[in-house]
Structure 1
Amino acid sequence: MYFDAGLISAPPDDWAAGERGLAALPGREAGFRQSIETALVYADRLGCPRVHVMAGNAIAGAGRKAMRETYLANLAHAARRFADYGLTVMIEPINTRDMPDYFLTEQCAAHDLVAELGAPNIAVQMDFYHAQIMGGDVWTQFLAGRDRIGHIQIAGVPERHEPDTGELNYAWLFQQLNAAGYDGWVGCEYRPRTSTQAGLGWFAPWRVGPRGRSGGVKA
């Protein structure tokens, strides 16, 4: 496994106004397609292989069935556009504590969508922080969806600080990921307790040195 920034997010539209993506929102297809074109430009120029496409919040008057159909159609469009650039569409379940109205909240729902679409360049972005809040047993959840997981993110639970305290034993999880042959990226998406630099001490045992030792994790 590797620690690095191997992923960017497509524009979620008006974040300050509370929007959290467009992919599952009926009637917002034009805006979604524009966000995909913008993401393509950034991903191509940065050489970033994965783009997180946010589903968006549930909206009044739109049933979940209509939102799911819109989500599937938009994800299929994104997959077709990204395929020409060698990019992968990522979808991420987000917990209902941080985003109470977010459309996609469960790992199993994300895996069902990926399986239904059947596109080779759509995968699940599994954030252990979100997965722990939404049911726990994160290693079993990882194993259940292993073939459809293309990116992992981490944070301490429940405060979303550095992954060195809290409910999850990340040292054990990292060892399990290595033993399982996970060769993807691990993204750090947390709020530092103080400053970013001061909080990076947790990472020292996992840094790969000049000879490639210390945990087998590339910084």
Structure 2
Amino acid sequence: MRAPNGLRLDANLKWLFTEVPFEERFDAAAAAGFTGVEYADPYPYPAPRLRRRLTDAGLHQVLINAPMGEPGTPEQAGVACLPGHAPRFRADLERGLDYAAELGSDFLHVPGGIRPPGVDHDRAFAVFVANLAWAVERARGTGVRLVLEAQNTRDAPGFLLDTQARAAAVVEALGPDGLGLLLDVYHLQVQEGDLVSTLRALLPVVGHIQVADPPDRTEPGSGEIAWPRVFDTLLDASYAGWIGCEYRPANGTAQGLSWIAELAGTATRARAVAP
């Protein structure tokens, strides 16, 4: 979907169109005007089956996550930073790449993981970087770009990548050609603030963006962020990537999509009258 200001939006099917079962959300997204979709967990479904849903709905797969463990387990956010889990990390990464290839996904998000009790941050971070170095080499030539996301500690206590700078440093150290930053505007605002300045500084290593509005992680315009300023920042930087709509609709998905015309159009008008 192209917003009025030209920015390209995709629907996160974990969060949007939850009024219908998962496999029906592809058609719902297409009917709403989306041309791309993302979701964290494709693995309960055979990849060819999901590929058919994409094809039938005329949708492009933008992003999936690498496999993660069950909620409530030490592996719930992946094993990338867990000492002694390198074999599982590699097997999960291989599975993620297989799904990404079958679905034609642009990006595979490799979650940073939750630092386990008794493991200091430096050790967990060293494990993470070593695993990512292997992953970047493994993904090279596949056409799938790996991305890393910083998450706020209110929603994700103990998450290893808890600042944008920490995630961006890994991207820069391992090479932005095969690795990028997944910048979630919601996590950035909750954890760090200074949103526009941080966004400007990090855009050179950003591969993908996700949006939601604090404090309730609902659609843009329902919370505290000045979205026209955010969108103008992206337009000024000639950002051409996707923007994932990863938010919890406040009053139903279809009704909530009015923000796209209202806020994206506002950004365009603000630019038009700027000196």
For the criterion TM > 0.5, the same-fold answer is yes
Residue 12, structure 1, aligned to residue 68, structure 2: yes
What is the alpha-carbon distance in structure 2 between the residues aligned to residue 207 and residue 165 of structure 1? 14
- Which of 3, 25, 28 is the equivalent residue of 2:9? 3
Partner of 1:81: 138
Q: What's the TM-score once normalised by structure 1's chain length?
A: 0.89
**Pair 16,194 (structure 1): closer, same or farther in 2 beyond 3 Å:** farther
TM-score (norm 2): 0.72
CA contact (8 A) 1:2 1:186 kept: yes
In the TM superposition, what is the alpha-carbon distance from 1:118 to its structure 2 partner? 2.5
Call closer, same or farther: CA 1:78–1:110 in 2, change over 3 Å.
same
- Alignment deviations for residues 136-161 of structure 1 (CA, whole Å, 9 cap, x no partner): 11111011122111111110111101
Q: In 2 relative to 1, CA 20–86 (structure 1 residues): closer, same or farther, beyond 3 Å?
A: same
Equivalenced residues, count = 210
Structure 1 residue 169: deviation in Å?
A: 1.2
- CA distance, structure 1, for counterparts of residue 176 and residue 226 of structure 2: 33
CA 1:139–1:55: 2 relative to 1, 3 Å:
same
Alpha-carbon contact 2:213-2:220 (below 8 Å) kept: yes
**Offset of residue 20 of structure 1:** 1.0
1:54 aligns with 2:111: yes
Q: What is the aligned-residue RMSD (CA, Å)? A: 1.9
Cα deviation digits, residues 31-80 of structure 1 (max 9, x gap) = 11111111111111111111110011110121211111111111111111
The answer to whether the 8 Å contact 2:196/2:229 transfers is no
Q: What is the DSSP-based 3-state SS (H/G/I as helix, E as strand, rest coil) of the residue aligned with 1:17?
A: coil
Range with bigger deviation, 92-101 or 21-30: 21-30
1:63-74 to 2 correspondences below 5 Å: 63-74=120-131
Whole-Å separation in 1 of the counterparts to 2:122 and 2:139: 26
- 8 Å CA contact 2:112–2:161 kept in 1: the answer is yes
Taking structure 1 as reference, are residues 50 and 174 closer, same or farther at Cα in structure 2, changes over 3 Å only?
Answer: same
In the alignment, what sits opposite 1:92? 149
Alignment partners' CA distance in 1, 2:207 and 2:86: 25
The 1:34–1:15 alpha-carbon spacing in structure 2 relative to 1, beyond 3 Å, is: farther
1:195 alignment partner, one of 252, 256, 274 = 252
SS of the residue 2:183 aligns to: strand
Question: What does 1:18-29 correspond to in 2, within 5 Å?
Answer: 19-29=76-86
Identity %: 36
Counterparts of 1:198 and 1:166 in 2: how far apart (Å)? 16
Structure 1 pair 119–203 and aligned structure 2 pair: CA distance change class (3 A): closer
| Higher CA-based Rg | 2
Residue type of the partner of 2:224? Answer: E
Give the residue type in structure 2 aligned to 1:13.
Answer: G
| Partner SS state of residue 186, structure 1 | strand
Q: Which runs of 5+ in 1 are unaligned?
A: 209-213
* Shift of residue 15, structure 1, vs aligned partner: 2.9
Look up the match of 1:31: 88
What is the aligned counterpart of 1:146 among 194, 203, 209?
203
Q: Aligned letter for 2:222? A: T
Shift, 1:170, TM fit: 1.3
Residue 197 of structure 1 aligns to a residue whose secondary structure is helix
Which residue of the other structure, out of 9, 23, 43, is the alignment partner of 2:100? Answer: 43
Question: One-letter code of the match for 1:14?
Answer: E
Match of 1:138, as an amino acid?
L
Letter aligned with residue 10 of structure 1: A
Q: Which amino acid aligns with 2:94?
A: E
- Contact between 1:92 and 1:110, CA under 8 Å: does it hold in 2? yes
Q: Do the aligned residues in 2 keep the contact of 1:3 with 1:185 (CA within 8 Å)?
A: yes
Q: What one-letter code is carried by the residue in structure 1 that aligns with 2:116?
A: I
Contact preservation (8 Å) 1:79, 1:119: no
Are 1:94 and 1:106, in contact at CA under 8 Å, matched by a contact in 2? yes
